[in-house]
Each structure stands twice: as structure tokens, then as C-alpha cells.
Structure 1
Amino acid sequence: MDPPPASLLQCIHPYLPHTIPHKPFVTLTYAQSLDSRIAAAPGTQTKISGAATKSMTHYIRSKHDAIMVGIGTVLADDPKLNCRHEGGKSPRPVVLDPHGKWDYKSSQLRQLVDNSTDALAPYIIVAAGADIETKNEAEITRQRGKYIRLALSQNRLQNWHLIFDQLDKLSISSVMIEGGAQIINDLLSFQKTEPFVDSLIITIGPVYLGEQGVQVSPPTGVVPTDCSWWTGSDCVMCSRIGRR
């Protein structure tokens, strides 16, 4: 993979993680269409980013301790969640899977961890009462990942506090959150009162995906600050949002 253009690295650099006491630095980053869709339909993988911004994503991964996605993204994309930026380290995958749906033993990530010296096994966050298949738990443990059981409830705000507090206890000081839409909308919806997110890095592709697409649009308005833009075959908006 070719490195990102120098001008793009210069644009994103001020928005990369720095130390925050007692909480991980959170970067929310994703690619969307002109009509704010991140996929053409639920459960499908849709190409939006160009080559430069795809390379940027892997560079950003190398600058974080962990990369977080939800179970919907995992089931739709079977992602490897590693870093392909030359010389960069892969982050620890963190998967939000409250009901233990992911068949990890059959995933691309499981194969990658077995065949790579760099890729890390995931931390999978599940509800306290989730029924985990024994073979999946054994495979995760063998690869030095883990299931993290938390007292998740219908209170989404409380759940996010539990999740980020647990990651802090695991010495994860920075988290890159890539999706999916439910997680993105959830975090943005709390941003005015509970600013979990620190930086926002969004790739905007020159395409409309239509009304059947998966939309990112929080229920209340959020105003990013200190915005910077990069343009190429697509464009990138970087901003600060939340804690300084």
C-alpha cells in the first residue's frame, strides 16, 4: 500500500491522539457519501474511499492503541482490522458484540492473527449474560485476546461509560472508532452532554448512495470546531469535537 500524500498527513496530524487523563482519546472516523450514507444498504460493504484516503485510514490505525467496530460491521464485512501502513503497528481490535453473535473461529481476523506476527486478537465486549460458544472462547484465549463481560443494559449512555472505563483499565489510551452507523450516531447523540469523542475525521466520497443507504445522522445537531479540509479524488474533513 502506498503511503498517504504528504498534504493529507499534514492535514490530519493535529487531530491524532494525545494523552487525556482517565479516559482514552477517541477518534471517530468513517467514509460517507454526499448524502451521508456509509453503505448502499444494511449489511452490505460499499466502496466509498479513494486510494489515498484508504491509505490514510491505515495510517490512522497505526496511531491508535485500539480500533473499535460493532457487530453489524463485523458480520457484514468480516474485516481484518489490522494496519497495512508500512512500518506501522496494528491496533488491538475491539468488537462490540453484546449478544455474542460473532463466530470468531471462522473469521478472517482469526486466520490473520495465526499467520502474522503483527496482528492482534480482539477484545470482544459482551453483555454479562451472553452465551459464548466454547470453541470461540478457547480460540480467543489461545491467541491472547479476551471476552470482556460488562453489565450492559438498555441505558446506552451508561454502557458507553462502562466500555471506555474498561478500556482505560486495560491501558488503552487511544481508540479509533470506525462504525457502524448505530455506534457513530449513538456517540454523536451524546456529544453535547457527554463528549466521548475528541476528533472527527470523515472521508466524503463523490457519490450519492440513495435513500436505501445506511445513514449517519444523529438525532440532535452537533457542531464540530477547528475544521480542516483536504481534497483529492474525494475529500477529508478533520475537526475537534468534545474535550480539548
Structure 2
Amino acid sequence: MSLPPLPESLIPFLKPYIPNNKDDKYITLTYAQSIDSRISAKPGIQTKLSHLETKTMTHYLRSKHQAILVGINTVLADDPKLNCRYLETDNDGELPLIRPIITDPLNKWDYDNSQLSKICEMKQGLPPYILIDDSIEHTKNSLKLKKQGGDYIKLALLKNRKDNWNLIFEELNKLGLNSIMVEGGATIINDILSSNKKLFNSLIITIAPIFLGKDGVEVSPNKQVELKNFKWWNGKQDSVLCGILK
């Protein structure tokens, strides 16, 4: 399905909150939520929140990064394609490529039967790097993944979770992935927001005009987090908040 045009006002609005160049070291934390700070109606349930114009915005943001990172719970719930469908006007009809990164410490994901595997076969996206714990000896689907150009990356993810994000981002930088768009899910978002270290450069939140209720999956860091240099954009349905850590 083709995306509707990106609202022109979003390009200058987003510019201060995205990398100037894809090769720059830059972490963007971005997600869509309800008014009551829920990103899905229930754990494991795919919940569509974004209006079409902010969905286009998400793909525009992907076009400005080298990699997109999500956690295993998001992958199991949504089976996302994790590619970029924003077509720049000056790139001869070629879609930008973005490398998916999946944090899957216990190696739960059946990559062979995923949507991402299928679109990689059709050359419509890049195969992922799957981050697993270094204790995993036998990985699932490793032959197909490596044949497509992806890989399993072993890291000490289960030993000291507090320092995981420095470890992860340093490893991705070694692999040549500097500009990274972190899209969720809630555990990852809360971990990064709650860290005592500055783990991201900018925060971009899409807020949909809906309450998902007490059973929803909540984004709520375990400490106070303040933003500065923040701006709001209002669309046909959604509002978008951008800012950096105070």
C-alpha cells in the first residue's frame, strides 16, 4: 500500500530532531501512544494508533536513519516489515534502505516465517541483525538469515541489563550503524527513558486522540524525565511532540 504525501510542514518541524547526515552518531527515540500513555490495548495485541499522515512521518524518519531497533515483544505481537516506504523525490524511484535490529536475548523469533523474511526475499528491505545472548549456542534460521545478508550478534545481554544499551549501541557503531531509530516496545522505551545516562539525542512522540485504558501497555519511566527545546505539531488527527532531554 502506498503512503499518502507527507505534510510539508513536518519537514522543517522535524529537522532539529533528526540526524543531519545518516552517518552521524545519533539515537532517535520515537513511538506512538494514546492520551493515557499506552502503546497497545493489551500485552501482545497489535494496536493501530497513528493516522495515515503520521504513519508517513514514521517512514520519513526511517529514511533519515541507518537502522531501526525494536524488541522481541514488538516483533512477536506485530510481525512488522521494518522497512522504509518513504519515496524521496530525487532518488530515481529507489526506496531508502534501513537495517532492522531486533533485541531477542533468548532467541525466540522464528525469522523464516516472518513478513520481514518474505520482503527481504523480494529485495524490498534489508535483513535484520538479531541481538541474542552470548549463552545461546544454536540459533534458529541462521542459514537463511545469513544467506540474505543478516546475522545473529551475540552479546552479554542477560548478565547486567542496566548496561545493555551502552553495549548495544557501541556494538552497532562497530558494525557501521551510527544513526539509529528506536521504535519500541514499552520495555525498551522505559529502559532508555529511565537510564541515568543520556542514551538518546531526541524524542519524537505521536499522540493519538484515544484512551486505551488500564489494561493497556504503558510507557512510564521509573523517574521524572523533563524535556527542553520541545515543539508541538498538530495534524488531522494526531499531535506530535519533539524534544531533547533537559
Q: TM-score range by the shorter chain?
A: over 0.9
Distance 1:107 1:14 in 2: 35
Structure 2 match to 1:84: 85
Structure 2 match to 1:47: 48
Distance 1:207 1:58 in 2: 22
Deviation of residue 13 (structure 1)?
1.3
Residue aligned with 2:87, SS: coil
Output aligned runs, 1:188-199, within 5 Å: 188-190=193-195, 193-199=196-202
> Which of 218, 221, 233 pairs up with 1:230?
233
Is 1:177 the counterpart of 2:177 in the alignment? Answer: no
Mind listing any 5+ residue stretches in structure 2 that lack a counterpart? Answer: 89-94
Deviation of residue 45 (structure 1)?
0.7
- 1:196–1:231 CA distance, 2 compared to 1 (3 A): same
Residue aligned with 2:9, SS: helix
1:66/1:93 contact within 8 Å kept: yes
Deviations 1:78-97 (A, max 9, x none): 00000111134121000000
1:70/1:183 contact within 8 Å kept: yes
1:64/1:176 contact within 8 Å kept: yes
For 2:109, the aligned partner's letter is: W
Percent identical residues: 50
> Which of 206, 212, 215 pairs up with 1:212?
215
Is 1:74 the counterpart of 2:78 in the alignment? Answer: no
Is 1:186 the counterpart of 2:191 in the alignment? Answer: yes
1:100/1:132 contact within 8 Å kept: no
Deviating 4+ runs (over 6 angstroms): none
For 1:205, the aligned partner's letter is: A
Output aligned runs, 1:20-59, within 5 Å: 24-59=25-60
For 1:29, the aligned partner's letter is: T
Deviation of residue 18 (structure 1)?
4.0
Distance 1:18 1:155 in 2: 33
Mind listing any 5+ residue stretches in structure 1 that lack a counterpart? Answer: none
Structure 2 match to 1:157: 162
Deviation of residue 19 (structure 1)?
6.6
Distance 1:19 1:4 in 2: 20
Residue aligned with 2:183, SS: strand
> Which of 125, 129, 146 pairs up with 1:123?
129
Aligned length: 237
Distance 1:132 1:4 in 2: 44
When normalised by structure 2's length, the TM-score is 0.92
2:22/2:65 contact within 8 Å kept: no
Deviation of residue 151 (structure 1)?
1.6
When normalised by structure 1's length, the TM-score is 0.93
Distance 1:83 1:133 in 2: 27
Distance 2:244 2:20 in 1: 12
For 1:99, the aligned partner's letter is: L
1:18/1:25 contact within 8 Å kept: no
**Root-mean-square deviation over aligned CA pairs:** 1.7
For 1:62, the aligned partner's letter is: S
2:142/2:151 contact within 8 Å kept: yes
